[in-house]
């Protein structure tokens, strides 16, 4: 009885959700803020305290201040909004990071002229003859006032002494004459079979190339190992600037086991500023099963630690079953079944790229068959994309315990889609949320989408394409709180560590971001411009804006 009275007294003293500090001072205390906890009640608090990387108190400022000692860092938030560190549930982060130090980044550029100026600046700093590579989503150009692609002449003018290669997603690229010469390319015959040159009215090559560019990109010189390490650190710091503290990486094109080595080094050296959950793809068409069995012979699900861990296989489990339109031959489906059955029998996660609802039964039918032999409900398998998911499909996913990784595909490609009832509901996240499907939000960055999470959070609200065309209807626009939940707790569910992160609650990791504007009240058209002024990972500051940080005292 006495212990019960004491417990009640502590709740009165510290406020709901606050625990005492067991006689130890906090390492960091944040007070006078608007803390969106993303707990089950969507609670908002004023303050929290961190010790040894974990949240040890959350509640009222006056109460939490009592946990501060002479060595505690006290941060006066001055009313700023704090959110759990954002987690991208589907970002090709390893690939993007490995080349971030050597590529010229156009994401976030204000115009084509700005992009060309970035290229010009990079050329002035690069070694003579060094390649300058730009890989950016087509939607980047949709945001430019020029609303067009660069010409070969513009690229030459910006970097006359360097081979230049600009790629938009996977379907279009532009090479300068020096780039073509360096790769010994003079015409279509020198390109991969699926590619061809664009020509002007006179039949002259423009430098533009169309087709699936995966093989062509592989011909470009790869960054050195040291450049990959530097790029990984720089890219993750850039993500920290945008409030991200975690990514779920599904593998993808041009990513072999060797491409993970720079990431592993940064992890071993203790320099990661993002928590990474990664998957492995089958590399060779026709030999995927053998590769999985070889790669994963000593790689159990969850191998790693709280900073980096193995999250299963995908997103391309096999080349033949990769979510493209059309019906597959039975032998392709049988091969895929054998692989995912093997994965389920070993408790491995599976994430699957799937584009449309029209042939979703091919995938779900196989997963349901596997489930009858080896239940997958606790394995947190997920489907990525599936923007036109029907309610029936979402009900089947819920029944199997399958999660849904949703991105801003309609922001990036909506201009090319015909408006109509179907487009206005894509993706139907409100329906999925009501049904109870676990939803993780993300970007699919960086070749087909920006990596900025606030672009996605704004798009959830206004449904506009990158070019500003209103497309999605209000029926499938989630509340701001639900959208934030998708990007935090929902994505932590995907990476199987929602027990330690994804919300700001007692005992969870102190992964958080202090925002430049109040996400909950700022006008919708300003959500995309929000950044972090202070990002913490496990209680450690991994990003702090110059000139505008919260007031910090000791």
What residues contact 554, with CB distance under 8 A and at least 6 apart? 70, 71, 72, 73, 74
Cα(35)–Cα(519) distance, integer angstroms: 11
Cα(471)–Cα(479) distance, integer angstroms: 17
Which among 413, 521, 411 has a CA at the least distance from the CA of 455?
A: 411
- pLDDT at residue 253 in the model: 75
How far is CA 540 from its chain centroid?
21
What residues contact 290, with CB distance under 8 A and at least 6 apart? none
What residues contact 462, with CB distance under 8 A and at least 6 apart? 470, 477, 524, 525
| Tokens encoding 270 | 């203790």
Q: Is 130 exposed, middle or buried (0-12, 13-18, 19+ CB in 10 A)?
A: middle
pLDDT digits (tens, 9 = 90+) for 514-534: 999 999 999 999 999 999 999
Which among 67, 108, 9, 32 has a CA at the least distance from the CA of 506?
A: 67
| Tokens encoding 85 | 């560190």
Please report the beta strands in 235-313, taking only residues with DSSP state E, as ranges in sequence order: 244-249, 275-280, 308-313
Which among 409, 532, 424, 488 has a CA at the least distance from the CA of 89?
A: 488
295 within 8 A of 257, measured Cβ to Cβ: yes
| Tokens encoding 414 | 């909506």
**Running DSSP on this structure, what letter comes out for residue 80?**
-
- pLDDT at residue 417 in the model: 59
pTM: predicted TM-score of the whole model, two decimal places: 0.93
- Give bridge partners of residue 544 from the DSSP assignment: 534
DSSP 413-450: HGGGSPPSHHHHTSS-HHHHHHHT--EEE---TTTSS-
Distances (CA, A) of 106 to 115, 126, 150, 446, 460: 6, 17, 12, 11, 23
* Strand, coil or helix: 384: strand
Cα(97)–Cα(250) distance, integer angstroms: 14
- pLDDT at residue 548 in the model: 63
Over the chain (554 residues), the average pLDDT of each successive run of 10 is: 32 41 82 98 98 98 96 97 98 95 95 98 95 95 95 98 96 97 96 96 96 94 96 98 98 83 97 97 89 90 96 93 76 96 97 94 97 98 97 98 96 68 88 98 94 97 93 93 98 98 98 98 98 98 83 58
- Give bridge partners of residue 210 from the DSSP assignment: 172, 196
Task: Compute, in degrees rounded to 10, the torsion defined by CA atoms 225, 227, 229, 233.
Answer: -170
Give per-residue burial for 243-275: e unless 16+ CB within 10 Å, then b. bbbbbbbbbbbbbeeebbebbeebbeeeebbbb
Cα(225)–Cα(261) distance, integer angstroms: 8
- pLDDT at residue 535 in the model: 98
Which among 325, 350, 355 has a CA at the least distance from the CA of 336?
A: 350
- pLDDT at residue 323 in the model: 64
Taken in order of first residue, the domains within the chain and their CATH numbers are 2-79+516-523+528-553 (2.30.40.10), 103-217 (3.10.310.70), 225-497 (3.20.20.140)
Peptide bond into 427 cis (omega under 30): yes
Cα(136)–Cα(153) distance, integer angstroms: 19
- pLDDT at residue 10 in the model: 32
């Amino acid at each position: 009885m006495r212990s019960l009275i004491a417990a009640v007294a502590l709740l009165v003293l510290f406020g709901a959700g606050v625990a005492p500090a067991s006689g130890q001072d906090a390492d960091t205390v944040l007070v006078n803020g608007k803390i969106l906890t993303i707990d089950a009640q969507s609670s908002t608090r004023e303050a929290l305290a961190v010790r040894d990387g974990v949240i040890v108190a959350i509640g009222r400022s006056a109460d939490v201040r009592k946990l501060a000692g002479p060595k505690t860092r006290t941060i006066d938030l001055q009313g700023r909004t704090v959110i759990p560190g954002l987690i991208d549930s589907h970002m090709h982060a390893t690939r993007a990071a490995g080349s971030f130090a050597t590529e010229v980044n156009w994401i976030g550029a204000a115009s084509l002229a700005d992009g060309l100026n970035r290229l010009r600046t990079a050329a002035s700093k690069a070694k003579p003859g060094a390649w300058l590579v730009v890989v950016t989503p087509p939607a980047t150009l949709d945001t430019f006032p020029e609303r067009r692609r660069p010409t070969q002449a513009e690229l030459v003018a910006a970097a006359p002494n360097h081979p230049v290669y600009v790629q938009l997603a996977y379907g279009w690229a532009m090479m300068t004459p020096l780039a073509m010469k360096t790769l010994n390319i003079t015409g279509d015959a020198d390109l991969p079979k699926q590619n061809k040159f664009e020509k002007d009215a006179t039949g002259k090559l423009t430098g533009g190339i169309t087709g699936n560019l995966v093989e062509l990109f592989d011909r470009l010189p790869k960054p050195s190992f040291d450049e990959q390490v530097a790029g990984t650190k720089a890219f993750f710091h850039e993500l920290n600037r945008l409030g991200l503290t975690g990514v779920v990486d599904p593998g993808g094109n041009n990513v072999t086991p060797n491409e993970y080595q720079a990431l592993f080094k940064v992890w071993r050296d203790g320099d990661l500023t993002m928590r990474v959950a990664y998957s492995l793809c089958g590399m060779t068409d026709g030999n995927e099963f053998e590769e999985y069995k070889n790669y994963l012979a000593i790689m159990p699900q969850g191998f790693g630690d709280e900073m980096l861990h193995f999250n299963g296989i995908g997103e391309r489990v096999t080349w033949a079953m990769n979510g493209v339109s059309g019906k597959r031959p039975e032998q392709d489906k049988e091969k895929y079944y054998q692989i995912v059955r093997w994965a389920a029998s070993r408790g491995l996660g599976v994430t699957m790229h799937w584009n449309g609802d029209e042939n979703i039964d091919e995938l779900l039918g196989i997963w349901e068959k596997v489930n009858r032999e080896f239940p997958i409900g606790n394995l947190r398998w997920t489907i990525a994309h599936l923007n036109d998911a029907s309610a029936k499909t979402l009900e089947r996913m819920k029944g199997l315990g399958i999660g849904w990784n949703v991105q801003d595909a309609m922001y990036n490609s909506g201009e090319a889609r015909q408006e109509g009832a179907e487009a206005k509901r894509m993706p139907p996240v409100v329906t999925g949320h009501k049904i109870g499907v676990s939803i993780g939000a993300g970007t699919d960055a960086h070749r087909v989408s920006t990596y900025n999470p606030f672009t996605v959070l704004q798009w959830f609200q206004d449904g506009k394409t990158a070019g500003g065309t209103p497309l999605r209807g209000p029926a499938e626009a989630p509340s701001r709180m639900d959208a934030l939940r998708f990007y935090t707790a929902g994505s932590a569910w995907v990476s199987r560590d929602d027990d330690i992160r994804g919300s700001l609650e007692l005992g969870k990791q102190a992964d958080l971001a202090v925002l430049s504007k109040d996400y909950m009240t700022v006008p919708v058209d300003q959500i995309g411009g929000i950044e972090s002024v202070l990002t913490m990972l496990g209680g450690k500051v991994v990003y702090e804006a110059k000139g505008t940080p919260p007031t910090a005292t000791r």
